[in-house]
Amino acid sequence: MKTILVIEDERDLLDLVAFNLEREGYRVLTALDGRDGLETAKTHLPDLIVLDLMLPGIMGTDICKILKNNEKTESIPIIMLTAKGEEIDRVVGFEVGADDYVVKPFSNRELMLRIRAVLRRSEPELKEEKIITVGLITIDTGRHVVTADDEEIILTTTEYKLLLNLAERRGRVQNRDLLLKNVWGYNYVGDTRTVDTHITRLRTKLGRAGDIIKTVRGFGYKMEDS
Amino acid sequence: MKTILVIEDERDLLDLVAFNLEREGYRVLTALDGRDGLETAKTHLPDLIVLDLMLPGIMGTDICKILKNNEKTESIPIIMLTAKGEEIDRVVGFEVGADDYVVKPFSNRELMLRIRAVLRRSEPELKEEKIITVGLITIDTGRHVVTADDEEIILTTTEYKLLLNLAERRGRVQNRDLLLKNVWGYNYVGDTRTVDTHITRLRTKLGRAGDIIKTVRGFGYKMEDS
DNA sequence: TAGAAATGTAACATGGCTGTAACATGGAAT
DNA sequence: ATTCCATGTTACAGCCATGTTACATTTCTA
């Protein structure tokens, strides 16, 4: 789950961008001016910053420079928003260390694509690949294969994520809200009973190996550690 | 994806060159002085170095000598940037081990052409040639020929790269973003669904052999390795 | 420079997945 | 034992991820 900070003084535009980002599944932080933006950037260390070039008070370029000169924030990619009239060409944008820029007026699609592209760049080449074994269950994250009782089990996306989550925290109880956050995403709105349904499906598919998924009445679920 | 290190103390020029290189699809590292440049060269081992002759602190020629005397960096080609006034002629440039040099002021086009030429020269005569076989598919990287079910298949560049990418990491799931990065390039901006389209085209061309390209719903694609 | 090939995007199709609700079950407290 | 409430289970309608095709645009090639 990636966090994106948007620094933009036009409230309408800020809200619009924030809304679209959230719909794409990002966690969004906002700031209406440079000072606040800097503050938020330093305290929350977002994964990416969308920064308006023209801001009251501190200029966007200055914010960019400050962020790029701070050890904690220097590696956070920045996408600049520039108005067409502002004869800021690419070179100036990159001069202060921005990673990409989008010219206003921009389409939502374009901004989203560029954000995704910049985030993609900073993503590690190889994600952690591991093989987890709990009881009769084996999860190979690299191959995305789950085995129970030496039989390969075909799981759906949600089932897989849920199982992985339980397995990674084996031995510890997790309540439904926590599971919803970790598996379904922080901005998921819905019934907590959904978790129960998926637990049932998992247990069914896993057969007797599924017995290690224990219900902790009143608290949630856990996977036995033994 | 080739990585190029630019060592240049004039910030404007550095950014301009970096920008142009990125647009050409290179990954770019930068350094504003010799010390930093040497450091970066040793740690990141770029594929090529663009080096300004006149630098504060250590001279460009010295950096060049140091790099060429270090076992790890000696094979990295270096292109020197020299001002016209600096009566460094070819002889001096090549004396310290530079592979080519460009006289300021230079056009972007000229620099790019020389970089490409030097990179081409330094490329090993035969890249690692190998024949990969997965299921009914055979990829001969040396001859750039793909066979499926004993029939030769004509693939486009993108299809070939995509297939090779999947085959090289056979067995492991790769998400669309990773594929985009590896096949389409580091700074590609576009829809991730593009991957799907090309997967379809691949499967179609490969016929029944294409069945080993599996969809992993919610995660990406993988090629069976059994 | 014309024509062909390749490429990326959009639009539509489809089938599996998913969340919800409704009912069933069983444990715990009284 | 009875009641309540948390959890188990099941069915189903809508949705969403992916498959597929068509098309406009770009790139290649002769």
Whether the beta carbon of A177 falls within 7 A of nucleic chain C: the reply is no
pLDDT by residue for chain A (226 residues), tens digit each? 899 999 999 999 999 999 999 888 899 999 999 999 999 999 999 999 999 988 887 888 889 889 988 989 988 999 988 876 555 554 455 556 678 888 888 889 999 999 999 999 888 777 788 899 999 999 999 999 999 999 999 999 999 999 999 999 999 999 999 999 999 998 888 899 999 999 999 999 999 999 999 999 999 999 988 6
Q: What is the largest CA-CA distance in chain B?
A: 66
| Chain A interface includes B201 (CB < 8 A) | no
Quick check: A95 and B12 CB within 8 A? Answer: yes
Each residue's pLDDT tens digit, B148-163: 999 999 999 999 999 9
Mean pLDDT value across residues B121-126 = 62
Q: B165-204 b/e with 16+ CB inside 10 Å = b?
A: bbbebbbbbbbbbbbbbbbbebbeeeeeebbeebbebbbe
d(Cα B23, Cα B145) in Å, to the nearest integer?
30
pLDDT (0 to 100) of residue A85: 57
Q: Are the CB atoms for B83 and B104 separated by under 8 Å?
A: yes
In three-state secondary structure terms, B147 is strand
Each residue's pLDDT tens digit, B53-99: 877 777 777 788 788 777 788 888 888 887 765 544 444 555 566 77
Spanning CA of A21 to C1' of D20, the rounded length in angstroms is: 29
What's the whole-model pTM score?
0.78
B63-70: Cβ within 8 A, 24+ apart = B63/B7, B63/B34, B63/B37, B63/B38, B64/B96, B64/B97, B64/B98, B65/B96, B65/B97, B66/B38, B67/B38, B67/B41, B67/B97, B68/B96, B68/B97, B70/B42
Q: Which long-range contacts (CB under 8 A, 24 or more apart) does A180-188 make?
A: A183/A158, A184/A158, A185/A1, A185/A25, A186/A1, A186/A27, A187/A22, A187/A25, A187/A27
Contacts for B19 with CB less than 8 Å, ≥ 6 apart: A90, A91, A94
User: Among all chains, which residue has been given the structure tokens 């990002």?
Assistant: A26
Say which residue the tokens 């070039």 belong to: A53
What pLDDT does residue B72 have? Answer: 81
Q: What is the DSSP letter of A174?
A: B
Contacts 24+ apart (CB under 8 A), B88-97: B88/B53, B92/B61, B96/B61, B96/B64, B96/B65, B96/B68, B97/B64, B97/B65, B97/B67, B97/B68
pLDDT value of position A91? 45
Q: What is the pLDDT of residue A50?
A: 96
Closest CA to A54 of A24, A77, A86, A16: A86
Strand D neighbours among A 182-221, CB < 7 A: 193, 196-197, 199-201, 203-204, 215-220
| Higher-confidence position of A46 and B142 | A46
Distance of CA A66 to the CA centre of its chain: 25
pLDDT at A75: 86
Amino acid A96: pLDDT: 64
A45-99 pLDDT, tens digit each: 999 999 998 888 788 888 988 998 898 998 899 998 887 655 555 445 555 667 8
Closest residue in A to B27 (Cα–Cα): A121
Q: What is the pLDDT of residue A123?
A: 82
Give yes or no for B218 touching A (CB within 8 A). yes
Q: Which residues of A are less than 8 Å from B12 in CB distance?
A: 91, 95
Q: What is the mean pLDDT of residues B12-33?
A: 87
pLDDT tops 50 at residue B135: yes
CA distance A217 to chain B (A): 31
Selected residue with higher pLDDT from B204 and B84: B204
Q: Which residues of A touch B219 (CB under 8 A)?
A: 144, 157
